[in-house]
Amino acid sequence: MAELEFAFTADEYARRRQAALTLAADVGADRLLAFGANRSGTGVTYLTGWPVTRAAAYLLTASRSALWVQFHNHVAAARRTAVSATVADLDDATAGELLPAGDAVVATVGAVPPGVAGRAREAGVELVPVDAGLVRLVSVKSEAELAAVALGARASDIGAAALIDACRPGATDWDLMAAARSAYTRAGARDHICYLAVTDMAAPDRDVPAQIPEGRVLARGSAVIFELSAAVAAEYPGQVLRTVTLGEPTAEYAALHEVAERARAAVRSVIRDGVGADALVDASVCIEDAGLTTTDDLFHGLGMGYLEPIGTSVSRVPVHRPQTLLRAGMTVVVQPNVVRADHLAGVQTGELVVVTHDGLQDVHALPSGLVVV
């Protein structure tokens, strides 16, 4: 048995589906279609529990919950995974079944396949996207969702600790990724992201974690910047970001990280229910006051998608200054990526937190701060 296990109840999915049907009713529809492909399509996952593999279509009405998946060999796993839904091969889903005669308006979530869009035009059916409404639903987590996020944070900590332990001269960025993934997979978690950058602190040439390992080899004097997320329940990951130095940091890297820690503390200090997300941007002004800037987003929502509020420091181009309000139950990643103006050197730190009525709740246990090995 895996160390980390989690399953949402049928009642939790019933709650979500009723809320989704309300979104559909608000646009004059009693039918909702959700689509996804290639691990993208959180609406399908939110409403069924199926982590979209190749392609998927989901039909929801007051009396029907039906999922179609591609390819045929994925159907068996989908039948074991999807909660309270019939499951069939996507090749068996006809446009007529998804859009039967008589519906004037159908609500949609996700990118509508061309065949379905064409069928709608022929039948005179108006397809009305309700993605924005679904984002509002998923942004504030239920107690069950917060429990899943907490396990995702634990899994991410397990992977991050293994990655840090693998930071030694001669290791490659591939080795670090393998160590992280092996650790959290053994614990019962799944991949979300593992981004890495390795550079020489004396002659740096990159400032932000990369999405694909490049075979960089660690040595004494290297800096490693990483961003790692693992999930136990699909689309409910934690996220942890750290900077590791092999040997004592150079004066430049120590200074960069000191500013990053100040920015992290300042942003965290203003998080609470009802606060405008633009206040988090204002809290990070110490970055620009130090003559530095950022490459990555300063903060963002996470959990069933990359969510608002998404904000940057004021000097980042393009700049994002969100106008949304924080709400208790939101899960937000605070992740200052403080870099030189020429973007050749940088650090990153931070983690996912839960917004509460009077502040925030930490769900990660990995120690904060610069890691020196």
Tens-digit pLDDT profile for residues 251-277: 999 999 999 999 999 999 999 999 999
Helix (H) or strand (E) holding 114: helix 114-123
pLDDT tens track, the chain, 373 positions: 789 999 999 999 999 999 999 999 999 999 999 999 998 889 999 999 999 999 999 999 999 999 999 999 999 999 999 999 999 999 988 877 888 878 899 999 999 999 899 999 988 999 999 999 999 999 999 999 999 999 999 999 999 999 999 999 999 999 999 999 999 999 999 999 999 999 999 999 999 999 999 999 999 999 999 999 999 999 999 999 999 999 999 999 999 999 999 999 999 999 999 999 999 999 999 999 999 999 999 999 999 999 999 999 999 999 999 999 999 999 999 999 999 999 999 999 999 999 999 999 999 999 999 999 9
pLDDT of 347 reads 98
Three-state secondary-structure class, residue 269: helix
Angle between helical axes of 173-187 and 143-165 (0-180°, round to 10): 140
Helix (H) or strand (E) holding 66: strand 65-70
pLDDT of 298 reads 98
pLDDT of 94 reads 82
Amino acid sitting at position 11: D
Say which CATH superfamily domain 10-138 falls into: Creatinase/prolidase N-terminal domain (3.40.350.10)
Spatial separation of the C-alpha atoms in residues 293 and 29, rounded to whole Å: 47
Spatial separation of the C-alpha atoms in residues 357 and 325, rounded to whole Å: 12
Those residues whose C-beta lies under 8 Å from the C-beta of residue 96, and which sit 6 or more positions away, are 119
Q: CATH assignment of 143-372?
A: 3.90.230.10
pLDDT of 99 reads 87
User: pTM surpassing 0.75?
Assistant: yes
pLDDT of 32 reads 97
pLDDT of 42 reads 92
The distance of Cα 9 from the centroid of its chain, to the nearest Å, equals: 22
CB burial of residue 177 (10 Å; 0-12, 13-18, 19+)? buried
71 upstream amide cis, omega within 30 of 0: yes
List the domain boundaries for the chain.
10-138, 143-372
